[in-house]
Amino acid sequence: MRVGVLGLQGDFREHLTVLRSLGVDARDVRTQEQLEAVEGLIIPGGESTTIAYLLEKTGMLKVLRERGAQGFPLYGTCAGMILLARELSDPYPENRIALMDIAVKRNAYGRQLDSFEADLQIKNIGSFRAVFIRAPKIVRVGSGVEILAEHDGVPVLVRQKNLLASSFHPELTGDPRVHRYFLEMVAQG
C-alpha cells in the first residue's frame, strides 16, 4: 500500500514517520505525478491559506477535488480539515478542496498558547489522548457525515465516505490508531 502525505507545508514529516512505523510505503507528495502514485493522501496541519495557495499553484487542487469526489481516500488534520470542509465561518481560504459536508471555524480553540491535550472516546478505536494546536472547530455537520469523536460536545473526528477529518493532531501522540483507521479506509478503496 502506498499512502502519500502532502509535503507542501506543515507537519508532514511526523505523519510520514507514523505511517512508516506501521510498515506503509509512505511518500512525500509535492507534485501531480507523485499524487498519481499513491492510493490515499493525508493533508497535514500547518497554515491552511499557504497549503491552499500551493495546492492551486501546483495544479493539485483540481486533481484532489476530482479524485476525492470519485472516492480517493483523503484525511485532513487541523489545516487539512479546513481544506476539506465545504463551508468556513470566516472568508478564507477560498481555494479549498471543499468536499466534506461540514462547516468549520478556523483557530476556534484559541491561539498557539491555548493548545491543549484531551482524552477522547473514538468510535471503533477507544480511548485516545489527542493534541489540539490552534485547532479548527466543526460548527455544522451534514447528514452524511459520521461523528467518530467529540470534545465537550463538539465533533473533532468525522468521516464522510472516503473522507476523514480531525481537529487534532494524531501524528504528535505516539499512538498510531487513527492512522491505522485511515489505512483501513485506503485498503477498502
What is the per-residue pLDDT across 62-71, written as a single tens digit (0 to 9) for each?
Answer: 999 999 999 9
Find the catalytic residue in 78, 87, 150, 179.
78
Q: Is the bond into 136 cis (omega within 30 degrees of 0)?
A: no
CA gap 103, 117 in Å, rounded: 23
Q: What is the mean pLDDT, run by run of 10 residues, along the chain of 189 residues?
A: 96 96 97 97 93 94 96 97 91 81 82 78 97 92 97 97 97 96 95
CATH class of the region 2-188? alpha beta
* Residue 150 annotated to the active site: no
Domain positions in the chain: 2-188
Predicted TM-score (pTM) of the model is: 0.95
* Residue 33 annotated to the active site: no
pLDDT of residue 115: 80
Amino acid (1-letter code) at residue 137: K
* Residue 15 annotated to the active site: no
Residue with cell 460536545: 153
CA gap 174, 177 in Å, rounded: 9
